[in-house]
Amino acid sequence: MMTKVAVILSGSGFLDGAEIQESVITMLALDKAGADYQCLAPDMEQMHVVNHLTGEVSEGEQRNVLVEAARIARTQIIDIAEANPNEFDAVIFPGGYGAAKNLSNFAVKGAESTVQQDVLQFARTFAAAGKPMGYVCIAPAMIPHIYGADAKLTIGSDPDTASAITEMGGIHVSCPVADFVVDEERKIVSTPAYMLNVRISEAAEGIEKLVNKVLEMVDGK
């Protein structure tokens, strides 16, 4: 039976949603590896909307995370609250500020952050079942909330973000873009991608390795 992976998106566009390149690379790597995937996103309003041309917040504008994420998923997406975790073998969270603004409020609250309830419930079901999950870019900041203390992860080498994760109970490991960090006990894989100032090919190398490692864990390797 084909491995099926849930890809959790947080909108569309790295400043206020899912990082588009990281999301597409993830889906492409899954497809190339022969895995099936389904995009999911919470049906909720974004924290705010950012003009990606200027980098400025568009005051008074609102967008829906699920509706925006459908742009990346080519409409093939469902509300995470309606998804059945038992239908999936693994989960991957691409990055983008949406992971820290919409899926969680880490961008605002840091170590005092929380994870959006539907996302948290879905992810904790996988953690409890011992199914593998991959986290890209800033998405690993959610790991301490999902797994509790002492989970091993990386967001690259940013000292302030790493410090906040340590304060939350996570164990941060510095990591270059082409590599990934594995918590074997909890079956967590993380890679920095665009947390570092890199080229798309460099981000792709780490993400592809993460995808392949997650799929290996599904097969018990």
**Which active-site residues does the annotation give?**
137
Q: Residues 72, 82, 116, 168: is their CA dihedral positive or negative?
A: negative
Spatial CA neighbour of 104 closest among 179, 165, 188: 165
For 2, the 3-state DSSP assignment is coil
DSSP H or E run through 143 = helix 143-147
Helices marked H in 40-109 — which ranges?
65-73, 98-101, 106-109
* CB atoms near residue 109 (< 10 Å): 12
| 97 in Cβ contact with 15 (< 8 Å) | yes
